[in-house]
Structure 1
Amino acid sequence: MSISLGACLGIILTTSYGLANCHHCLRNAYPTFDPLPVPEDVGEALILTPYIQSGDVDMARKLAKVSEEPFAGLVTSYSGYLTVDPDLNSNLFFWFFPAEFGYEEAPLLLWLQGGPGVSSLFGLFGENGPFSVDETGSKLITRPSSWHRNHSIIYIDSPVGTGYSFTESDQGYATNQTQIGSELYTALLQFLWLFPELQTHDFFITGESYAGKYIPALGYAIYKNNPLSELKINLKGMAIGNGFTDPLTQSRSADLLFSLGLIDRKYADGLRSREDQFVAALLTGNYSEAYNVSTVDICLL
């Protein structure tokens, strides 16, 4: 598969995803930059699902293998699209890096980014993948601590509409975590048919931030579907970094900060007031108000 460095950098840092029931976008911890120009035609989307379904796995892997420089000269990898809703032509983009050492037994990791709506290529280039990008944005730098050294790792842009993942219908955009988990599960099954040697490997779902919702959703989908599925995913665990999982549970921080001596009593009282307002707005379904309360500068209290 042909992958443009400029296109990758542009999509990593400028992705957005619409949120249901709220006209605001969530605060995003990830930086945004203007996308770099892509001078060449990157071609049509490589949808691998028809090859997988017809049993032509060898052709699918041949087409998916990344052959363009500078990527191919640094590491072996595979990339393409997996269809998760054929009626709406909804497709999830993935980029897979086999373990550099011990591939035959290395665990398989799935990395999901947060946001919501941030491409998992942010994690690839910015956090734990085989390479990063220099300050000019035009040159790759290998990462000595890459997770792919002793783990096979697949990065998926999820949900549909994030990064390179796309749909041809507005109905293809997920509105709940169950749908997101189901579509990731569908993509993961196809991926494991594409790489059948990985079907028995230990599998871990990993990610950070808003992926604290996607990761349990996928784990639950695997748990519910495994008993009756021909292909049983060997899920061994989940790893969530700084996860945004349950706003109600995670909204209370004033007492802890005060007990640690990080804030004084006046500041703690102001923060508790904001926490109460946030919870009240959330419980009544007033998500816009909850957002407004959570973004007020507490230093002004």
Structure 2
Amino acid sequence: MEFRGVIFVSFLIFQLGVNSNAFPMNDLISKLPRQPDVNFRQFGGYIDVDENVVGRSLFYYFVEAEKDPLTQPLTVWLTGGPGCSSVGDAFGSVGPFIVTKDAHGLQTNFISWNKVSNLLFIDSPIGSGWSYSNTSSDYSNGDDSTNKILLTFMQKWYEKYPVFKSKDLYLAGSSFAGHFVPNLANALLDDNKQSKQSKFNLKGLVLGNPMLRKKLGDLAKIDFFFSRKMINSSLYNKIKKECNAIDENNYFSSIKTTWS
């Protein structure tokens, strides 16, 4: 009987160890201000994405799926802008809460995506929301630098939440996430090819009102306006002629676009 007791205690310790390692309990959010009671957990905190450890961190907000989170996929949400807070967007679109009409509290979002998936919101690029750097040049960003940092973030986030590495992964977002999401997908797939260890189990992309190519988007709007008789044929033809004269690769002019 004594020997069985030792086995039972050891098994219990092992089980507790697995649970504590699967989730960083220091990042657990017990309850947000004026938040309704829920049956799922929330986590938030920083992931250091600077190999030189001089201070460069992205802030994240993670929400478990309402039911059986360990059997559900993981969806990463990136808001556009570029430069808008994905964590802020969590409380106005696909997250579990929305702000009340008087802006004094939170209420349940009945169409939250965490009904069918775990949700990870990332404040990116540097300077968005609560993400920061101690290097001032990091606040002038571009697609390439943002994508490299997001890849590092994903690698290190999985180190914090290893149980989700094997889960189906979806990348989602709106607006300028039309750049962020496909770029990150390519980076994850490239990393899969190069890595001999566990791989990103990427299953799909979700884009809402995405910004893909500015000129293409502008021309599509003009086509839509004309098809709905919002502009006449004379104006439509003038706009098309002017826009088609612009070099697709140079529509932002020769000035390098930076995000502040």
Normalising by the residue count of structure 1, what TM-score does the alignment of the two structures yield?
0.70
1:58-87, Cα deviation, whole Å (9 max, x unpaired): 497111000244358434101100011143
Match of 1:66 in 2: 29
The partner residue of 1:83 within 41, 45, 48 is: 48
- 1:92 is paired with a residue of what secondary structure? strand
Matched, 1:267 2:230: no
Q: Is the 8 A contact 2:143 2:180 kept in 1?
A: yes
Distance in 1 (CA, whole Å) between partners of 2:206 and 2:248 is: 30
Distance in 2 (CA, whole Å) between partners of 1:111 and 1:66 is: 19
Distance in 2 (CA, whole Å) between partners of 1:184 and 1:144 is: 29
Q: Is the 8 A contact 1:177 1:213 kept in 2?
A: yes
Q: Is the 8 A contact 1:159 1:174 kept in 2?
A: no
The partner residue of 1:101 within 67, 70, 74 is: 67
Match of 1:17 in 2: none
1:173-211, Cα deviation, whole Å (9 max, x unpaired): 353312211211111112222222211111010000011
| Unmatched 5+ stretches in structure 1 | 1-56, 291-301
* Displacement after TM superposition at 1:172 (Å): 2.3
Distance in 2 (CA, whole Å) between partners of 1:244 and 1:208 is: 8
Q: CA RMSD in A?
A: 2.5
Q: Taking structure 1 as reference, are residues 246 and 190 closer, same or farther at Cα in structure 2, changes over 3 Å only?
A: same
In the TM superposition, 1:254-293 aligns within 5 A as 254-259=222-227, 261-276=229-244, 279-280=246-247, 283=250, 286=253
- What one-letter code is carried by the residue in structure 1 that aligns with 2:27? A
- 2:133 is paired with a residue of what secondary structure? coil
- What one-letter code is carried by the residue in structure 2 that aligns with 1:79? G
Match of 2:199 in 1: 232
* Displacement after TM superposition at 1:167 (Å): 0.2
- 2:159 is paired with a residue of what secondary structure? helix
- 2:71 is paired with a residue of what secondary structure? coil
- What one-letter code is carried by the residue in structure 2 that aligns with 1:127? S
- What one-letter code is carried by the residue in structure 1 that aligns with 2:253? N
The partner residue of 2:167 within 196, 201, 211 is: 201
In the TM superposition, 1:1-301 aligns within 5 A as 58=21, 61-70=24-33, 71=35, 73-74=37-38, 75-87=40-52, 88-173=54-139, 175-229=141-195, 230-253=197-220, 254-259=222-227, 261-276=229-244, 279-280=246-247, 283=250, 286=253
Distance in 2 (CA, whole Å) between partners of 1:125 and 1:69 is: 12
Counting strand residues as a fraction of each chain, which structure ranks higher?
2
Matched pairs, number: 232
Distance in 2 (CA, whole Å) between partners of 1:241 and 1:248 is: 18
Distance in 1 (CA, whole Å) between partners of 2:105 and 2:146 is: 34
Rg (Cα) greater in structure: 2
Normalising by the residue count of structure 2, what TM-score does the alignment of the two structures yield?
0.80
- Which deviates further from its counterpart, 57-66 or 100-109? 57-66
Distance in 2 (CA, whole Å) between partners of 1:250 and 1:262 is: 17
